[in-house]
Amino acid sequence: MTKYDVIIVGSGIGGLCCGSILSLAGKKVLISEAHTQPGGVAHSFNTRGYKFESGPSLWSGINRWPTTNPLGQILKLLDEKVEIIKYKGWHVSVPEGEFNLEVGQEPFKERINLLRGDKSVEEWNSFMSAIKPLSQIVSEIPLLSSSPETMNFLEIIKLASKFLPNINLLPKLNGGFGDIVDNYLKDPFLRNWVDLLSFLISGMPMHDTNSAAMATLFDEWFEPESYLEYPKGGSESIVKALVNALKKNGGELILSSKVKAINFSKNIASGVTLENGSKFISDFVVMNTDTWTSRKLIPREITKEWNPKAKNIKKCGSFLHIHLGFDASGLQNLPIHSIHVDNWERGITAERNVAVFSIPSVLDKGMAPKGKHVLHGYTPANEPWEIWENLKPNESNYKNLKEERCSIFLKSLRKIIPDIDSRIEIKFLGTPLTHKKFTNTYCGSYGPALSAAEGLFPGCKTPVKNLLTCGASTFPGIGIPAVSASGAYAAEQIIGNKEYKNLLKMIDL
């Protein structure tokens, strides 16, 4: 039987980053993925010439240098380039009106002025001034070299000395972003807007969203020269680049290979058993699975002392999805992204109150057949699992509920494409059951709802020797930049801090 240095359970972006860094460092790596496609929630699927995305659509900092995005830094380290298409604009549909908005400070200030007047622009200015030093700290401390598990006392002193004038701000970075907002923003639109951005990043409202994550976002999106990046070919191109990096350095990826159990020898992780009965042995196992799925892979006698218990970890909500292929003829100036908020009063976390759409074929013609567009829409992490969990997909009550709850999508879309219904050529609707089925996530959840006000996400070490975690249940948390960093931290634990630092030196971090 082949023995691996490391087996990674799951090929989400976190697992792929971990595996490709380990392969680069000379480790013999196997990634075992349950689905037929790699990429986890960032996988895509092809039907009748359409390339459908299933997850992330907002990318930035993956093809510029320098970048603060850990994924961009890892791609550079791996010597993998992903072609991108730059763009700046979104379409916004909020109770205040419909408008196009560009990233960058000035366009947003102009919009505030139009919607809310001078006073609100001033409020925004003082808020941005308060965030600036936080963004500076975040951009000076590369997340990739800041694993909370390996940062030593000397490094902390070194870092602190860099920021002496702003040293009092360091604790704020780990707190909830809402506290900063409370101090500066009174205007309801501005508060709602920041709440919305926070929710899109973390799946939680601004008071529960980590300030460091938001300071990074503000740094990237509100700089004068800001732009967003769409990877040509969609998220599949990112996944392909990471898989290529894994394989060119000798790593292996097996698909349709669901891990049934993690094996232990004298309480040390020693390999995995797949559902098909195959066994693989290794020195280390890294779980790229969510916290609830991970616990199920480990014998109870090993996890029974672990705290908190899986059942006590709060989860974010799940998703409704719509995938459309539609006739593009005569449609001019369609936005690549649009975001719809029905009613601020209901709150940003309310069910079916927010919908996000992405039409990548607007920028990248290769995503759809000639003369057509491809669209992915979703309600971000606010669909309750509980109303779906006991339904069977082949039963009529499931089908009816799916049509009824997904009607929010076409209702919102008609505002930007009034005759969308008659243009549709392919339509797939997805529920939390669909999301769970294709992403193997517990209850189709976005991830753990761990409030920044209460502390950080757990690090990549587990109570068991040679068993590590990475991905959206691990520090720094949910989202592409965060899971990429967590994959790197798990790799660091395996190759050792010295060798990891040497790797980062190759890209001047």
Ligand X SMILES: Cc1cc2nc3c(=O)[nH]c(=O)nc-3n(C[C@H](O)[C@H](O)[C@H](O)COP(=O)(O)OP(=O)(O)OC[C@H]3O[C@@H](n4cnc5c(N)ncnc54)[C@H](O)[C@@H]3O)c2cc1C
CB of 155 to ligand X, least distance (A): 26
Between CA 377 and CA 491 the distance in angstroms is: 34
> How many residues touch ligand X (CB under 6 A)?
34
Nearest residue to the partner ligand X, using Cβ: 12
Site string for ligand X, 364-403 (x = CB under 6 A): --------------x-------------------------
CB of 440 to ligand X, least distance (A): 3
DSSP 386-419: GGTTT--TTSHHHHHHHHHHHHHHHHHHTTTSTT
Among 258, 365, 423, 437, binds ligand X (CB under 6 A): 258
Residue 55 in the binding site for ligand X (CB under 6 A): yes
Among 4, 184, 193, 319, binds ligand X (CB under 6 A): 319
Residue 147 in the binding site for ligand X (CB under 6 A): no
Among 49, 56, 89, 104, binds ligand X (CB under 6 A): 56
Residue 41 in the binding site for ligand X (CB under 6 A): yes
Between CA 293 and CA 284 the distance in angstroms is: 18
Under 8 Å between Cβ of 88 and 103:
yes
Residue 216 in the binding site for ligand X (CB under 6 A): no
Among 21, 34, 101, 269, binds ligand X (CB under 6 A): 34
Among 67, 353, 379, 440, binds ligand X (CB under 6 A): 440
Is the peptide bond between 133 and the residue preceding it cis, with omega within 30 degrees of 0?
no
Among 4, 6, 10, 138, binds ligand X (CB under 6 A): 10
3-class DSSP state for residue 132?
helix
CB count within 10 Å of CB 367 equals 26
Strands 228-231 and 252-254, by their bridges, are unpaired
CB of 373 to ligand X, least distance (A): 19
In this complex, which beta carbon is closest to ligand X, that of residue 249 or of residue 288?
Answer: 288
User: For residue 296, with 0-12 CB atoms within 10 Å meaning exposed, 13-18 middle and 19 or more buried, which class applies?
Assistant: middle
* Helical packing angle, 188-202 and 118-140, nearest 10°: 30
In this complex, which beta carbon is closest to ligand X, that of residue 103 or of residue 112?
Answer: 103
Between CA 299 and CA 131 the distance in angstroms is: 46
User: In the window 274-293, what residues touch ligand X (CB under 6 A)?
Assistant: 288-289, 293
Between CA 379 and CA 34 the distance in angstroms is: 25
Which amino acid is it at 204? Answer: M
In this complex, which beta carbon is closest to ligand X, that of residue 13 or of residue 180?
Answer: 13
User: For residue 62, with 0-12 CB atoms within 10 Å meaning exposed, 13-18 middle and 19 or more buried, which class applies?
Assistant: buried
The stretch near ligand X (CB under 6 A) out of 11-19, 160-168, 397-405, 426-434 is 11-19
Site string for ligand X, 441-460 (x = CB under 6 A): x-------------------
User: In the window 85-124, what residues touch ligand X (CB under 6 A)?
Assistant: none
The stretch near ligand X (CB under 6 A) out of 104-112, 180-188, 326-334, 474-482 is 474-482
Backbone torsion region of residue 117, taken as left when φ is above 0, otherwise alpha when ψ lies between -120 and 50, otherwise beta: left
Between CA 230 and CA 87 the distance in angstroms is: 8
CB of 329 to ligand X, least distance (A): 28
Residue 18 in the binding site for ligand X (CB under 6 A): no
CB of 360 to ligand X, least distance (A): 12
DSSP 146-170: --TTT--HHHHHHHHHHTGGGGGGH
Tokens coding 472: 């959206």
Report the chain's terminal Cα–Cα distance, integer Å: 39
CB of 41 to ligand X, least distance (A): 4
| Footprint on this chain of ligand X (rule: CB under 6 A) | 9-15, 32-35, 40-42, 55-58, 258-259, 288-289, 293, 319, 378, 439-441, 471-472, 478-480, 483
